[in-house]
Amino acid sequence: MGGGDRQARSCCLGRVGWGMMFGFWRHRKIQRERIRQEAETLIEKHGDAAYELARSRRVAALQQKNSAEHRFWCAVARAIADHTGRESGVDTATRYSNASDGRSRFRVAIGKATENH
C-alpha cells in the first residue's frame, strides 16, 4: 500500500484532524499528570485521610454541578486508592466485612461471645 494509502489517510483527517487528535492526547497526558501530582500532594499532606478528602471534594463539585471538577476529583480519589492499596468506592462497613480471612470481624466477635456463654 504505497503512497495512495498515505494520501487517503491524510485526505480523511486532514491537517486539522491530526492536530485535533494530537491535541486531545496532549491534553489527556497533561490531565493525567495533574491528577497524579494532586494525589501525591494529598497523600503527602494528609496521609490516610487523603482518600476521604478527595471524595469530599468530589461531592462538593457534584453539588455545585461542576462536572469537570467532579471528574477530576473522582480520578484523584482513584489514583489515591491505587497508590495506597485501598479499594476505591467501598464503604467502611464493606471493607471491614471483607477481612483477609474471609470472615467478618463482627461475626468473629459475635462467635467468640457466644462461645463464652
Residues 40 and 81 in one domain: yes
What the block records as the C-alpha cell of 42 is 494529598
Stretch 7-23: mean pLDDT, rounded?
59
**Looking at the 3D structure of the chain, how many domains does it have?**
2
pTM of the model: 0.60
Residues 80 and 96 in one domain: no
* Range of the structural domain that residue 113 is part of: 91-117
Residues 47 and 9 in one domain: yes
pLDDT in tens, 29-86: 999 999 999 999 999 999 989 999 999 999 999 999 999 999 999 999 999 999 988 7
Residues 95 and 81 in one domain: no
Residues 13 and 70 in one domain: yes
CB distance 97 to 104 below 8 Å: yes
Residues 79 and 95 in one domain: no
Residue 23 banded pLDDT, cuts 50, 70, 90: confident
Phi/psi zone of residue 14: left (φ > 0), alpha (ψ -120 to 50 degrees), beta? left
Residues 60 and 14 in one domain: yes
Residues 44 and 69 in one domain: yes
pLDDT at position 37 is 97
Residue 13 has pLDDT above 70, yes or no: no
